[in-house]
Amino acid sequence: MTTESVAPPSSTTEDIPSTVKRLRKTFATGRTRSIEWRRQQLKALERMIVENEAQIADALNQDLGRKPFEAWLADIASTAGEARDAAKNVGKWAKRKQRLLEFSQLPGRGWVEYEPYGVVLVIGAWNFPFALTLGPAVGALAAGNAVVLKPSEVAPASSALMARLVPRYLDTDAVAVVEGDGAVSQELIAQGFDRLCFTGGTEIGRKVYEAAASHLTPVTLELGGKSPVIVAADADIDVAAKRIAFSKLLNSGQICIAPDYVIADASIRDELVDKIRGAVEAFEAGDTSGKRIVNERHFDRLVSSLAATKGTVAVGGGSDASEIKIQPTVVVDPDLDEPLMRDEIFGPILPIVTVANLDEAIDFVNSRPKPLAAYLFTKTKSVRERVIKEVPAGGMLVNHLLFQFTTTKLPFGGVGPSGMGAYHGKFGFEEFSHRKSVLTKTTRPDLSAIIYPPYTDKAWKLARRLF
Ligand code: NAD
């Protein structure tokens, strides 16, 4: 199962109902429940990513124009790390944890039994095609499920590579890749999975949720939105500028947790803009051709948002339609109703909104939908504590960006329109496990005799004291 020479049954030659039926059959045998099977699959998944690093980097370059270092950092290392961590810890995570019961429940024992849901559907996004398809699969496999993976059709080389590699490394009767677009996703959802994880935009997320509802399929929705960066008056502007620029340039700004826009205190706004300009120039190292966008549709969307801006273009602003590239661009004080401030940007354009103070910054974020990520740059503890307490968000990172995604120690997910549910590390295992309550009782002596009818006053008195 782990060598390239084994010819796998290709899931793409099979129709969707047959694929799901085959996986259901495997799950019913109980094979995927054993901790040993889970460990083997997770180790094989890690091996698949590590052994095929060059092919993965090549696919990411074809789909997204991604540099090999960025391919390694964002898709390869993070996903391999997730799989390694899960393989190491799954035995511990799956262990029964006895709960201390109330006196009235004694004698008896109670615990949570982590039960796999069954067959899980993972629908991935294109911007980190490996991390966002195989990453959720790590949690689903650790939990002992069979899994159907539906990579995004917008990154076709990555999708095709996953379809080729997965059957060569993983249990082909328990893990399948189905390639295709939104219609294929809908056909899959219509099969009535036991659990579903979708990563993508909020509007498509709504459609996925609606389709899943008719089967009562529980969902994890990893959605998008506009993630703000508050730069407070006391922030370390040098470092903030570099980190914001780095995060906005990575993958051409096409990251769900990229800094969507900055809210800058008026006292440091100009210094911040100058230093972001300096950081962009240093990071691009003389290359003014711009950042490659995934496709023409997204390129056109970004260019028209930029053309519509009423703000001041302080950095970049140029684009090249023949290469679908956009220069790293900073727009100062756009109109708050224009597309750049209304829709998720998902590109290398950074609006900067000026505010008078921290109160205004917090009010600004809170007047908008709850973001997937909220960022803050400050050196002051009281500022940090205020923002942590007063700004709701899927996750928060102080004095840096993006790294909340790359730890297995914290849950990653959105809130409200940025999503529901979370994964990574143990949280992924829990997300794809049903927490079955188990209570066991003894039969002799039969202490329940006091609650059996006919009810006497004496029994009632005793019961009132006990329960
Ligand atoms: P998308 O919503 O266009 O597509 C995501 C997936 O949904 C693809 O696999 C696609 O085939 C499928 N799909 C398309 N139409 C569908 C339909 N009608 N029914 C069911 N499935 C359908 O998202 P995208 O363009 O790939 O990614 C960009 C968006 O995803 C951004 O909004 C971004 O913020 C968000 N995102 C979120 C996360 C996260 O972890 N929260 C990560 C990456 C991207």
Q: Is residue 293 in a domain? A: yes
Q: What confidence category does residue 74 fall into, taking pLDDT thresholds of 50, 70 and 90?
A: confident
CB of 126 within 6 A of ligand 1: the answer is yes
25 Cα: distance to centroid of ligand 1 (angstroms)? 29
Tell me how far apart the 2 most distant CA atoms of the chain are, in Å. 90
Interior CA angle at 35 toward 95 and 32, to 5°?
A: 125
Measured between alpha carbons, how far is 329 from 308 in angstroms, rounded to an integer? 14
State how far Cα 234 lies from the chain centre. Answer: 31
- Residue, of 145 and 451, whose pLDDT is higher: 145
Residues 83 and 178 in one domain: yes
Residues 232 and 219 in one domain: no
Asked if residue 1 has pLDDT above 50, the reply is no
Residues 216 and 235 in one domain: no
Asked if residue 11 has pLDDT above 70, the reply is no
At what angle are helices 35-51 and 78-94 packed, to 10 degrees? 170
What is the total count of domains within the chain? 2
Residues 81 and 182 in one domain: yes
Name which of 34, 59, 22, 36 is nearest 134 in CA terms. 59
Asked if residue 3 has pLDDT above 70, the reply is no
Q: What confidence category does residue 404 fall into, taking pLDDT thresholds of 50, 70 and 90?
A: very high
Q: Is residue 141 in a domain? A: yes
* Active site (annotated) includes residue 197: no
* Active site (annotated) includes residue 385: no
The pick from 181, 209, 220, 256 for probing ligand 1's pocket by mutation, whose C-beta has the most ligand atoms within 8 angstroms, reads 256
The pick from 82, 127, 149, 402 for probing ligand 1's pocket by mutation, whose C-beta has the most ligand atoms within 8 angstroms, reads 127
Q: What confidence category does residue 394 fall into, taking pLDDT thresholds of 50, 70 and 90?
A: very high
Q: Considering the candidates 46, 70, 82, 222, report the single residue annotated as catalytic.
A: 222
Measured between alpha carbons, how far is 116 from 362 in angstroms, rounded to an integer? 41
Structure tokens at 249: 């340039």
Lowest mean pLDDT among 162-166, 220-224, 346-350, 455-459: 455-459
Measured between alpha carbons, how far is 297 from 5 in angstroms, rounded to an integer? 39
Which residue has tokens 């921290």?
358
Residues 363 and 426 in one domain: no
At what angle are helices 35-51 and 156-169 packed, to 10 degrees? 130
Residues 287 and 347 in one domain: yes
Single-letter residue type at 168: R
pLDDT one-digit tens code per residue, 203-232 = 999 999 999 999 999 999 999 999 999 999
Q: Is residue 466 in a domain? A: no
The protein residue whose alpha carbon is closest to atom 17 in ligand 1 is 182
Q: For residue 385, what is the domain's CATH number?
A: 3.40.309.10
pTM (two decimals): 0.92
Rg (alpha carbons) of the chain, rounded to whole number: 25
Q: Is residue 102 in a domain? A: yes
Structure tokens at 447: 């202490």
Name which of 336, 348, 355, 339 is nearest 276 in CA terms. 348
Single-letter residue type at 123: I
Give the pLDDT score at 13. Answer: 60
Q: What confidence category does residue 462 fall into, taking pLDDT thresholds of 50, 70 and 90?
A: confident
Residues 119 and 236 in one domain: no
Measured between alpha carbons, how far is 60 from 279 in angstroms, rounded to an integer? 25
pLDDT one-digit tens code per residue, 323-340 = 999 999 999 999 999 999
The protein residue whose alpha carbon is closest to atom 40 in ligand 1 is 222
CB of 223 within 6 A of ligand 1: the answer is yes
Residues 272 and 344 in one domain: yes
DSSP 281-342: HHHHTT--S-EEPS-HHHHHHHHHHHHT--SEEEE---EETTTTEE--EEEES--TTSHHHH
The protein residue whose alpha carbon is closest to atom 19 in ligand 1 is 182
Q: Considering the candidates 82, 256, 430, 431, report the single residue annotated as catalytic.
A: 256
Domain hosting 394: range is: 228-407
Query: What does the H/E/C string look like for 408-421?
Result: CCCCECCCHHHEEC
Which residues have CB under 8 Å from 70's CB, separation 6+?
60, 250, 251
Torsion of CA 256, 261, 267, 268, to 10 degrees: 60
Q: For residue 60, what is the domain's CATH number?
A: 3.40.605.10
User: In this structure, are strands 261-265 and 319-320 parallel, antiparallel, or unpaired?
Assistant: unpaired
Give the pLDDT score at 128. Answer: 94
Residues 309 and 372 in one domain: yes
Q: Is residue 379 in a domain? A: yes
Asked if residue 165 has pLDDT above 70, the reply is yes
Residues 359 and 253 in one domain: yes
Check: CB of residue 122 under 8 Å from CB of residue 140: yes
Report the pLDDT averaged over residues 374-394. 98
Residues 274 and 152 in one domain: no
Q: Is residue 460 in a domain? A: no
131 Cα: distance to centroid of ligand 1 (angstroms)? 13
Question: In this structure, is the dihedral angle defined by the CA atoms of residues 419, 420, 422 and 428, taken in order, positive or negative?
Answer: negative
Q: Is residue 461 in a domain? A: no
| Cα atoms in the 13 Å half-sphere on the side-chain side of 3 | 2
Check: CB of residue 135 under 8 Å from CB of residue 220: no
Residues 188 and 328 in one domain: no
CB of 16 within 6 A of ligand 1: the answer is no
The percent of residues in the chain predicted with pLDDT above 70, rounded, is 97
Q: Is residue 81 in a domain? A: yes
Which residues have CB under 8 Å from 420's CB, separation 6+?
219, 220, 221, 413, 414
Q: Which residues sit opposite 123 in a β-bridge? A: 150, 198
